[in-house]
Amino acid sequence: MSPKSRTFIEQARRAQIIACAVEVLADQGYAHTTLARIAEQAKISTGVISYHFGGKKQLIEAVVAEVARVATDLMVPRILAQSTASDGLRAYIEGNMEFMRLHRKPLLALVEVITHTPGEEGGPGPYAAQAEVAIADLEKVLGWGKRTGEFRDFDQRSMAISIRGAIDAVPGRLLHDPGFDLDLHTRELVTLFTLATRRDP
Partner DNA sequence: TATGAATGAGCATTCATTCAT
Partner DNA sequence: AATGAATGAATGCTCATTCAT
Q: Which residues bind a copy of itself (CB under 8 A)?
A: 26-32, 115-116, 118-119, 121-125, 128, 131, 154-155, 158-159, 161-170, 172-173, 175-176, 184-185, 188-189, 191-193, 195-196, 200-201
Dist. CA 170–CA 97, nearest whole Å: 8
CB 7 within 8 A of CB 17: no
Least CB distance to a copy of itself at residue 80 (A): 25
CB 25 within 8 A of CB 63: yes
The binder of DNA chosen from 27, 40, 50, 105 (CB under 7 A):
50
The binder of DNA chosen from 20, 52, 127, 190 (CB under 7 A):
52
Beta bridge partners of 151: 198
**Quick check: 199 binds DNA (CB under 7 A)?**
no
Handedness of CA 57, 33, 104, 158 (dihedral sign): negative
Residues 28-47 close enough to bind DNA by CB under 7 A: 32-37, 43-47
The count of residues interacting with DNA (CB under 7 A) is: 23
The binder of DNA chosen from 1, 4, 9, 176 (CB under 7 A):
9
According to DSSP, residue 127 is labeled T
**Quick check: 51 binds DNA (CB under 7 A)?**
yes
CB 99 within 8 A of CB 75: yes
Judged by beta carbon distances under 5 to 8 A according to partner kind, the member of DNA, a copy of itself, none in contact with residue 70 is: none
Dist. CA 161–CA 41, nearest whole Å: 37
Sequence-ordered list of residues with C-beta below 8 angstroms from that of 25, at least 6 positions apart, any chain: 33, 63, 108, 109, 112, 113
Which window, 52-60, 71-79, 86-94, 140-148, contacts DNA (CB under 7 A)? 52-60
Least CB distance to a copy of itself at residue 127 (A): 12
What is the helix (H) or strand (E) element at residue 148, kind and residue range?
helix 128-148
Return residues touching DNA (CB under 7 A): 7, 9-10, 13, 32-37, 43-48, 50-52, 54-57
